[in-house]
């Protein structure tokens, strides 16, 4: 009879491939996936946790498809009958379930599932392998991170435990629930978290245990996570794999996940081919602890983090039609704030921006408070229970504030001068500003314009802020760059309750009302 202990390689790191110049082929990914799964032994249950459609370019869809093909759950899309990666695929087909890590995002549409995971996997039925994560009803609190950790990360503004929450179906896959039942195959369910490591404005670096505690977690944990990230200081988090917020997740991961599950992470690092301009895989890692994540973070910093030699006095950012609100469009602020010079100006060309929030209530809160700096925002929260129950909105307002270090000029297509200035931004006419900064002629990076008097202006242009993070070494290396220097009364201590209000389309969280364009 097979041992009930899951097999594992001699090291927690099963696969580590990558460099800034590496281009990993699909065949290599398939080979590594199949070799890994073969080492795991035959399973009766396999649970896959990929990201949702907002992370389409992570290649998590392809990897999920390769897993299903290894287990003969689906056939290879190229029509081949032989497995090029190993001598044979699995001799048995387990029960496969797939829970896209939605967080509080809206469920994926059938069309999105087909685009990301392939038509055959998307068309499976009886049962359908795709399970929608319902953060309202499907979540269980499995433990807590100590209040001391939360207090330290929030400078005493929140002094209560952080709830580690998981989808109930995921929690049911723990080893103790799947003990020896007398069958020939009594190995526990294999849980595989798949996703891309990339610099992230809230978590520092995306993925790893975030895919579980946020992606298939509950609203209280998600909103508190974003609030912690905001009050701790975005500039102290971005691009850093290790930070107080990640330490909270790591604590819960080590205490509640690693010993409870046969849980493995498959992580990718994606970058742009300098010759073709196409997105390609630069790194591929498989492991069951921090090691694979740390390696992926190291590579992602080299591939995705844009370190500039000097701070631009002016940065001009263009927002395409995916950005119809400041809730989404403020990614232009998140992704450039570590680069722009003190006293500099960020100019946001926003032809499609027509509102502040992604829903009426959040829009109302933004208009009421504004992007007016952390101290003022926290003072407003002290006196407003509605704000205390909308921590994601508080986090967004803090993220979108320059804290007085630089100015922000919005050039919206569908908001008035009065509306823009009422939330704390400067206003400029879109048509006039576009004539000066013509997006059709500018190149990403440094540009120089000469006015009618022969005076040159140097500025840095970004055509899409979602493509990376920008910083200068001095600000990135200085861990105290954004130390919060404000005091708040005890009334600001936030009680994290089930009254927390979701924001399904959060730009700060990573959601999109209109999904990114995908080449068909």
pLDDT in 10s for each residue of the chain, 520 residues: 333 344 444 458 999 999 999 999 999 999 999 999 999 999 999 999 999 887 888 999 999 999 999 999 999 876 554 445 445 577 789 999 999 998 877 788 999 999 999 999 999 988 999 999 998 889 999 999 999 999 988 888 788 899 999 999 999 999 988 766 555 667 899 999 999 998 887 888 999 999 999 999 998 898 889 888 887 888 788 888 888 899 999 999 999 999 899 999 999 999 888 787 678 999 999 999 999 999 999 999 898 888 899 999 999 999 988 788 998 899 899 999 999 999 999 999 999 999 998 778 889 999 999 999 989 998 999 899 998 888 888 989 999 999 999 999 999 999 999 999 999 999 999 999 999 999 999 988 999 999 888 899 999 999 888 777 899 988 876 544 444 444 444 444 444 444 444 443 333 333 333 333 444 3
Strands (E), 324-444: 345-350, 407-412, 426-427
Residue 287 and residue 13 in contact, taking contact as beta carbons nearer than 8 Å: yes
Q: Which CATH number fits domain 314-492: 3.90.226.30, 2.90.10.10, 3.90.180.10, 3.40.50.880?
A: 3.90.226.30
Angstrom distances, CA of residue 224 to CA of 162, 221, 250, 338: 8, 5, 16, 24
Give Cβ neighbours of residue 358 (< 8 Å, ≥ 6 apart). Answer: 325, 327, 328, 503, 504, 505, 506, 507, 513
Q: Check residue 10 and give its pLDDT.
A: 43
Q: Check residue 116 and give its pLDDT.
A: 95
Q: Work out whether the CA dihedral 112, 115, 121, 125 comes out positive or negative.
A: positive
Domain ranges of the chain: 314-492
Q: Check residue 272 and give its pLDDT.
A: 80
Residue 104 and residue 167 in contact, taking contact as beta carbons nearer than 8 Å: no
Q: In the chain, count of helices (H) and strands (E)?
A: 20, 18
Q: Check residue 490 and give its pLDDT.
A: 40
Q: Say which DSSP state 91 is in.
A: S
What does pTM read for this prediction? 0.79
């Amino acid at each position: 009879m097979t041992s009930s202990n899951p097999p594992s390689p001699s090291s927690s790191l099963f696969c580590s491939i990558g460099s800034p110049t590496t281009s990993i082929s699909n065949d290599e990914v398939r080979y590594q996936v199949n070799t890994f799964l073969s080492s795991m032994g035959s399973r009766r249950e396999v649970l896959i946790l990929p990201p949702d459609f907002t992370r389409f370019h992570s290649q998590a869809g392809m990897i999920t498809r390769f897993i299903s093909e290894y287990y003969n759950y689906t056939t290879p899309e190229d029509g081949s009958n032989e497995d090029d990666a190993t001598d044979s695929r699995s001799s048995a087909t387990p029960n496969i379930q797939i829970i896209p890590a939605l967080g509080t995002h809206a469920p994926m549409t059938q069309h999105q599932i087909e685009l990301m995971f392939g038509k055959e996997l998307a068309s499976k039925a009886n049962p359908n392998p795709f399970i929608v994560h319902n953060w309202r009803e499907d979540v269980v609190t499995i433990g807590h991170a100590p209040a001391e950790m939360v207090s330290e990360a929030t400078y005493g503004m929140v002094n209560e435990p952080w709830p580690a929450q998981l989808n109930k179906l995921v929690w049911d896959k723990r080893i103790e629930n799947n003990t020896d039942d007398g069958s020939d195959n009594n190995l526990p369910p294999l849980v595989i978290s798949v996703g891309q490591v990339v610099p992230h404005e809230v978590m520092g670096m995306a993925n790893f245990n975030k895919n579980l505690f946020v992606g298939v977690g509950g609203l209280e944990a998600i909103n508190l996570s974003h609030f912690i990230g905001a009050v701790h200081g975005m500039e102290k988090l971005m691009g850093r794999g290790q930070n107080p917020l990640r330490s909270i997740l790591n604590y819960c991961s080590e205490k509640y996940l690693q010993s409870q599950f046969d849980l493995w992470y498959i992580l990718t690092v994606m970058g742009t081919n300098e010759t073709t301009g196409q997105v390609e895989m630069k790194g591929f890692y498989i492991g069951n602890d921090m090691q694979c994540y740390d390696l992926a973070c190291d590579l992602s910093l080299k591939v995705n983090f844009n370190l500039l030699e000097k701070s631009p006095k002016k940065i001009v950012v263009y927002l395409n039609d995916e950005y119809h609100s400041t809730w989404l469009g403020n990614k232009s602020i998140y992704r450039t704030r570590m680069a722009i010079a003190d006293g500099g100006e960020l100019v946001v060309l926003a032809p499609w921006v027509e509102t502040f929030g992604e829903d009426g209530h959040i829009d109302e809160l933004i208009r009421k408070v504004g992007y007016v700096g952390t101290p003022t925002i926290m003072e407003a929260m002290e006196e407003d229970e509605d704000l205390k129950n909308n921590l994601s909105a508080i986090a967004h307002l803090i993220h979108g504030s320059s804290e007085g270090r630089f100015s922000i000029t919005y050039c919206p297509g569908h908001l008035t001068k009065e509306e823009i200035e009422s939330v704390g931004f400067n206003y400029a006419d879109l048509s006039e500003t576009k004539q000066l900064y013509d997006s059709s002629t500018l190149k990403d990076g440094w540009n120089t314009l000469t006015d009618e008097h022969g005076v040159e202006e140097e500025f840095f242009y970004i055509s899409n802020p979602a493509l990376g993070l920008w910083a200068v070494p001095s600000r990135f290396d200085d861990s105290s760059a954004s130390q919060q220097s404000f005091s708040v009364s005890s009334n600001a201590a936030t009680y994290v309750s089930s009254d927390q209000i979701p924001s399904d389309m959060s730009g700060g969280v990573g959601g999109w009302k209109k999904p990114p364009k995908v080449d068909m």
